[in-house]
Amino acid sequence: MRNYPVLLFALCAALCPAAELPIGTSLANEPLSPWTESAEADAIVFIFVAPDCPISNRYAPTIRRLAADCADHNIALWLVYADNLADAAAIRTNQTEFKLSGLPTVIDRDFAIADFAGADVTPEAAVFMRPAPESAPLLVYRGRIDDQYQGYNKYRPAPTASELRETLDTIIAGHLPSLTRTKAIGCYLPRP
């Protein structure tokens, strides 16, 4: 019975035409749609990050590992900088410093992608799948990367649960994950 809402949503998504999906801008200030760029991917992972968030920056090694795993399994991983004052130069500097250069990146100045995913903090992850090629994306996970952070400045040396990794493993195994939501700990998105 636990999967009933997800299956019902998947059926509706398969039968209903895809709605207009939010887009952002590239680091070159060009319109950019992660949905179009990743149309052939089995899933799309958005990780909301910020150059000035220490928790987000501490997750850089984990994000690099996740990105490599995703690339090996036809899963698109995007870094999303949701900030109406986002500065491409500061983002590039941050990505160089934390070895995130080269990862697909979108700037979400109007918070359209963050609103669509329901993201509130950095770092926070949202995973979408398409039950059918022309269907609307189905949110299958939103929340923390893992449970290493229990609160601001309160963290474990290593995580004991990795819900994002578990969701990705389910997708890699060829299954539709049950919708999972966890509370992400981090810096709040600077919505106006």
Read off the pLDDT of residues 101-116 as tens digits, 9 standing for 90 and up: 999 999 999 999 999 9
What is the arrangement of strands in the sheet containing 75-81, beginning at the earlier edge strand?
A: 31-32, 24-25, 105-107, 75-81, 43-48, 124-129, 138-143, 180-181
Residue 157: predicted pLDDT: 80
CA 34 – CA 38 distance, rounded (Å): 6
Residue 120: predicted pLDDT: 96
Domains, the chain, with CATH or none: 4-14+25-188 (3.40.30.10)
Per DSSP, 177 falls in state P
Let me know how long the chain is.
Answer: 192
Residue 135: predicted pLDDT: 81
**Is residue 145 pLDDT above 70, yes or no?**
yes
Residue 132: predicted pLDDT: 74
Identify the band that residue 29 occupies on the pLDDT scale cut at 50, 70 and 90: very high
Residue 19: predicted pLDDT: 58
CA 187 – CA 185 distance, rounded (Å): 7
CA 9 – CA 15 distance, rounded (Å): 10
**Is residue 13 pLDDT above 70, yes or no?**
no
Identify the band that residue 154 occupies on the pLDDT scale cut at 50, 70 and 90: confident
CA 49 – CA 187 distance, rounded (Å): 9
